[in-house]
Chains A and B, each alone.
Chain A
Amino acid sequence: QVQLVQSGAELKKPGASVKVSCQASGYNFISFGVSWVRQAPGQGPEWMGWISAYNGNTKYAQKFQGRVTMTTDASTSTAYMELRSLTPDDTAVYYCARDLYYDSRLGYFEYWGQGTPVTVSS
């Protein structure tokens, strides 16, 4: 069965960076992409961007351009999301979700990781 297992909770200080991992199993990793979605407490989800595990192409939401980097490691079927220059507004649960490998616009998020809580506080 398809599973996405994310790394554990993080506590960061303002200005720091966080890197969240998402290890996939149960499917051919490079045949799909990964989107990253975050959800602040009491808020709706917010899409951060997408990476193709097939060729490494990325598309980031304009809001996060310059502050986020998404990568994959096909040898371990793992996707990574690094967010820099953290502020308290970045406090949220961060999810990875399986996506299409060629164009996120045409797909939907069928499988999700369990979520990684990230708290930014001094």
Chain B
Amino acid sequence: QSVLTQSPSTSGTPGQRVTISCSGSRSNIGSNAVNWYQQLPGMAPKVLIFSNNQRPSGVPDRFSGSKSDTSASLVISGLQPEDEADYFCAVWDDSLSGVWVFGGGTKLTVL
């Protein structure tokens, strides 16, 4: 069971806006910046968002992130077929002497 809670799955049609949520606690999301990763089948994760809402170069501006209190969200606007993937939130947790924790992942299906 993951320290960060994500819905197991979500779906949308091309062009739609989809929100993926990540719920944590004071020791992780409440204290540190959240990163989001996209993982295509059989591939390594790829960073989409870092420091809550920053996009690395090359990541389309359709992807945006936000954080409030002990929760974070990833929004995908203008959904595209190639966005079908698993999405994970990740944040440093100050408990247990410090550790990166990941959500269990949300499987996004583009209908």
Contacts and interface: CB of A to CB of B under 8 A. Distances in A.
A105 B32 contact: yes
Contacts of A119: none
A62 B99 contact: yes
Among B2, B100, B105, which residue has the most Cβ atoms of chain A within 10 A? B100
A37 B99 CA distance: 11
B99 A61 contact: yes
Contacts of A47: 99-102
A78 interface: no
B99 A112 contact: no
A3 to B, nearest CB: 12
A105 B105 CA distance: 21
Interface stretch (A11-19, A24-32, A38-46): A38-46
Contact of B102 (A45, A63, A105): A45
A105 B2 contact: no
Interface in A61-78: 61-63
A59 B100 CA distance: 11
B24 interface: no
A114 B96 contact: no
A46 B98 contact: no
B18 interface: no
Contact of A112 (B45, B90, B101, B102): B45
Interface in B24-82: 32, 35, 37, 44-47, 50-51, 56
A110 B105 CA distance: 18
Interface in A90-105: 95, 104-105
A113 B43 CA distance: 10
B56 A105 contact: no
Among B90, B96, B99, B104, which residue has the most Cβ atoms of chain A within 10 A? B99
Interface of B: 2, 32, 35, 37, 44-47, 50-51, 56, 88, 90, 92, 96-105
